[in-house]
Amino acid sequence: MARKATIFKAGLQIADMDRHYYRDHDLTIARHPSETDERMMVRVLAFALHAHDALVFGKGISTEDEPALWQKDLTGAIDLWIDVGLPDEKDIRKACSRAAQVVIYAYGGRSADLWWGHNSDRLERIKNLTVINLPVAATQALTKLAQRTMQLQCTIQEGGIWLADNNNRIEVYPVTLKSPVPLR
């Protein structure tokens, strides 16, 4: 019999000075049995960076054709597709054809560097794609925050992110590897 997802609850207070977004969100996060705490917390971080009332978690890593997070408009069109990890280039291209904007949060240290080195030439040409690399020390430190019930505070200012609970404060400084091509 297949194991079921573990449900995590998070109260997330966001103070995003860069976007002037100040809100509290109550999140329900289903963690697939094969998903690590690191990947789950990267999804929470991605939520904080793009927080919006219409942003929701996807069904999980066992569901193909669905991202880690996405935001749809009222017609069902996909405004934002967010994936975490090191997705296949073919899957990224498919996502870029389906969504107005795609953001990939790569992590894993040397693995992420090798992945980007292998895929960067082909991905550079995609206009609606952003690729961000998260430092391995930061993503591993995020696992300290993973609890079945979490109360998290997130501050975002000038490209820096601070994610904290009552006992830990993690600083994350993402590196943008690829920005979307501006429309003319």
- What is the residue-averaged pLDDT of the chain? 93
Q: For residue 13, what pLDDT is reported?
A: 98
Q: What CATH number is attached to the domain comprising 152?
A: 3.10.640.10
Is residue 160 within 8 Å of residue 63, measured between CB atoms? no
Q: Is residue 90 part of a domain?
A: yes
Is residue 162 within 8 Å of residue 169, measured between CB atoms? yes
Q: For residue 5, what pLDDT is reported?
A: 84
Residue that the structure tokens 């040397």 belong to: 110
pLDDT digits (tens, 9 = 90+) for 134-148: 999 999 999 999 999
pLDDT at residue 65 tops 90 = no
Q: Is residue 183 part of a domain?
A: no
Q: What's the structural domain count of the chain?
A: 1
Local confidence band at 33 (pLDDT 50, 70, 90 cut-offs) = confident
Q: For residue 181, what pLDDT is reported?
A: 75
pLDDT at residue 51 tops 90 = yes
Q: Is residue 184 part of a domain?
A: no
Q: How far is CA 145 from each of CA 23, 55, 128, 137, 164, rounded to the nearest angstrom?
A: 20, 22, 32, 14, 7
Q: For residue 184, what pLDDT is reported?
A: 55
Q: Where in the sequence is the domain holding 122, given as residue range(s)?
A: 13-178
Q: How far is the C-alpha of 131 from the C-alpha of 177, rounded, in Å?
A: 5
